[in-house]
Structure 1
Amino acid sequence: MTCSNCSIILPIKDQGLLKIRHSRVSLTPALEGLGMLSEQMKQEHWCEGNIVFRYDSRSQLEQLVNGLARLPQECLSRMQVVVTGLQHVEGFEEWLLFGQLQARLQHPDLVSIINNQNFTSHMQPIVDYKLNIIGFEFLLRPSQPDKSFQPFRLFEVAREAGLHAHLDRSARISAIEKSATCLPAGIKRFINFLPSTIYNPAYCLNHTFETIERLSMNTVDFVFEVVETEEIDDLNFLHQIFEQYRTRGVSVALDDVGAGYSTTELMNCLQPDYVKIDRSIIDGCHHNSDQKRQITGIVESAFRFGGQVLAEGVEQMEDFEFCRDAGVSLAQGYLFGKPEPTPPSNFILSRVV
């Protein structure tokens, strides 16, 4: 089985063809109205109902795309495009929505980072109520100083460009591989994933399990966190993803509970193994009665289905002490360590002794 969302990213050549197709309407009148079917735009030919333009430079391709952007929105929303070389093999074409091609042309540096996997993972410690490190969360970071990026922005552009499934899978595998070089068995590895990038759990997650098996690691050491920037519409599908992880021995976590789309109702529905309370609720909680009530309510709900609760973004000892007394069993934040390329030296030494 193959999936276009997991395939390689085909490069945009400096000389080639831009093909256009639309599922519902003929684009010919609109293109003629913009003067885009003229000889000046180097129309190459018509091919099986597609309109095909030739371009001879990157700037000319950008001019073509800017011209197409003047079409009515009802045309653009359903229009598909593909960019190929002058000599290409049929069947290896990557059809994109028009907006995805626009994003790839507008952000070539970030697309290059995604394509070449110029990223690595930093590790932030997770501690128990005795302040012992029990695991690390793996967070995406640049691997080269001259190829800097903000992780949120990288995923934002990836989503606009139709590359978020590719990036999510690559980042997940990169984190697993990094953990194999830095951590001993028995230490939990918390790794983020976007459920919207998984189309067939049984197939899409194979890359994850194959990597763990290839590196002779134990699936029980892994916790995969649901991180989502859009509302989850299909909870049954998310349950399928959770089940796919759990049947292989992997635990699951719900991130940022209490903020955005990660509501307590979602937590009670999914019943994750780990519940991570959002930092906005943790910060300053020791002197805020509303935050205290929220934390206590989350702990009580998680206790009913057996989920472990983790406090995120802990920076003050007073906040940690309140959370610990309220029944929060794990914590993470600058109070215990910032994300770093390697585990702290005292952790490594304690594992050697």
Structure 2
Amino acid sequence: MICDNCSTFEPIEDQGIVHMKPASGELIQLLEVNGYAIQENNEGCAVKYRVRAELKSMIKCLKPLPLKIRQELFFCVTGGEPPHERLTWTPMRRFELQMEHDDMVSVILHKQFTSYMQPIVDPSERIVAYEFLLRPVDWGIAFQPYELFETARKTGLHSFLDRSARISAIETSAEWLPMGMKRFVNFLPSSIYDAEMCLSHTFNTIDKLQLDPKDFVFEVVETEKIEDIKHLQSIFEVYRSHGISVAMDDVGAGYSTLEQMVRLKPDYVKIDRSLIDHCDRSHAQQKQLEIITNMAHDFGAMVLAEGIERREEFHFCRDIGIELSQGYLFGKPAERPPLEPHSRITYS
């Protein structure tokens, strides 16, 4: 079995041929009624389109099809010439969503995004690492990262996007960061079917660019509850077998529970910003921060406080033993490192 992450997706051309299977009588009749010239074949049927708007109109005209036919109908779009390779088929509902979110799908398939870097500092405020965050390219379509990943999930492209984002981060780190500087890169566990197979692109890119795997920290970012802890543990094991560290993000909020943290035992624990915000003024937050920090230290993890915007927050986190800090106080995400390697943050 090949997972989506290892599949190849091609952008839909402005003109070409849409293939459909199976070619039921209702499908043929509906296409004919709407004036489309149909080419029947062994697998189903095909219709040429001259502009993208015509393709969208064709999909809309098929909405009256009975539910059972819609559930069994698959689509594939090729260029103007007959395909020479095996077709990759998409269920009708997913194909409709790809057409509905055409702009965002184009961003994903054309990889119209880049990686910004946000500094991470140690207790002396030296920059010791950067987190890589997905952002639009200057000349491309504007988007919010969450919006892009949500569109990718709906349209079956989340594995493709997750892999492309990891590769973008690795390539950007090779361009801007020196050896020895840690690089935090996000990944979605749900995008990985078989860790060794699906992550081979990641490991090959690190190797091709002659980077040190020990400089990388891959962190779990998951908006949905992690149902299969054993699967995530196996992903962690594969990363570690290649010399790469792993991290849990947003610990202390949402689905990143302390129980999961203890079971997974990541190398880095990133505490959610909701616990950091004004933590110097909240006894309840302080107690929770101390619990998480002590538990993480018990199994040998380093702790990182996210979302620090005030020096008082930084001082409290540093004083209870949190080793790393990240937030607007030290720098916003940027296209390139704002300071020389291992520089200290200075304030005007």
Q: TM-score, normalised by structure 1?
A: 0.88
Counterpart in the other structure of 1:162: 156
Tell whether the 8 Å contact from 2:34 to 2:61 is kept in structure 1 after alignment.
no
Unaligned runs of at least 5 residues, structure 1: none
Mapped partners of 1:70, 1:214: distance in 2: 51
Q: Say whether 1:81 aligns with 2:75.
A: yes
Structure 1 residue 253: Cα displacement = 0.5
Mapped partners of 1:318, 1:86: distance in 2: 63
CA root-mean-square deviation: 2.5
Counterpart in the other structure of 1:311: 305
Structure 1 residue 3: Cα displacement = 5.4
Relative distance call for 1:27 and 1:230 in structure 2 (3 A) is: farther
What secondary structure sits across from 1:177 in the alignment? helix
Tell whether the 8 Å contact from 2:32 to 2:38 is kept in structure 1 after alignment.
no
Unaligned runs of at least 5 residues, structure 2: none
Q: Match for 1:173 among 135, 146, 167?
A: 167
Deviations 1:135-171 (A, max 9, x none): 0001111222443222111112122222221111111
What secondary structure sits across from 1:345 in the alignment? coil
Q: Match for 2:279 among 275, 280, 285?
A: 285
Larger relative contact order (C-alpha < 8 A, sep ≥ 6)? 2
Which residue identity lines up with residue 19 of structure 1 in the other structure? M
Deviations 1:244-299 (A, max 9, x none): 00011100001111222222222122111111111111111111222222212211
Structure 1 residue 232: Cα displacement = 1.8
Q: Say whether 1:214 aligns with 2:187.
A: no
Mapped partners of 1:6, 1:12: distance in 2: 19
Q: Say whether 1:262 aligns with 2:243.
A: no
Mapped partners of 2:67, 2:262: distance in 1: 40
Counterpart in the other structure of 1:20: 21
Which residue identity lines up with residue 189 of structure 1 in the other structure? R
Which residue identity lines up with residue 12 of structure 1 in the other structure? I
What secondary structure sits across from 2:88 in the alignment? coil
Mapped partners of 1:75, 1:343: distance in 2: 53
Relative distance call for 1:3 and 1:283 in structure 2 (3 A) is: same
Mapped partners of 2:20, 2:288: distance in 1: 54
Relative distance call for 1:236 and 1:17 in structure 2 (3 A) is: same
Counterpart in the other structure of 1:136: 130
Structure 1 residue 334: Cα displacement = 0.5
Which residue identity lines up with residue 141 of structure 1 in the other structure? R
Aligned pairs for 1:191-340 (under 5 A) are 191-340=185-334
Q: Match for 2:63 among 66, 69, 75?
A: 69
Which residue identity lines up with residue 181 of structure 1 in the other structure? E
Residues matched between the structures, number: 343
Structure 1 residue 64: Cα displacement = 2.1
State the percentage of identical aligned residues: 47
Mapped partners of 1:259, 1:78: distance in 2: 40
Counterpart in the other structure of 2:143: 149
Structure 1 residue 333: Cα displacement = 0.3
Mapped partners of 1:117, 1:260: distance in 2: 30
Structure 1 residue 339: Cα displacement = 0.8
Tell whether the 8 Å contact from 1:17 to 1:86 is kept in structure 2 after alignment.
no
What secondary structure sits across from 1:190 in the alignment? strand
Tell whether the 8 Å contact from 2:19 to 2:44 is kept in structure 1 after alignment.
no
Which residue identity lines up with residue 64 of structure 1 in the other structure? M
What secondary structure sits across from 2:30 in the alignment? coil
Tell whether the 8 Å contact from 2:305 to 2:322 is kept in structure 1 after alignment.
yes
What secondary structure sits across from 2:179 in the alignment? coil
Deviations 1:295-324 (A, max 9, x none): 122112212221111111011111122222
Mapped partners of 2:64, 2:326: distance in 1: 49
Mapped partners of 1:314, 1:233: distance in 2: 30
Structure 1 residue 346: Cα displacement = 4.6
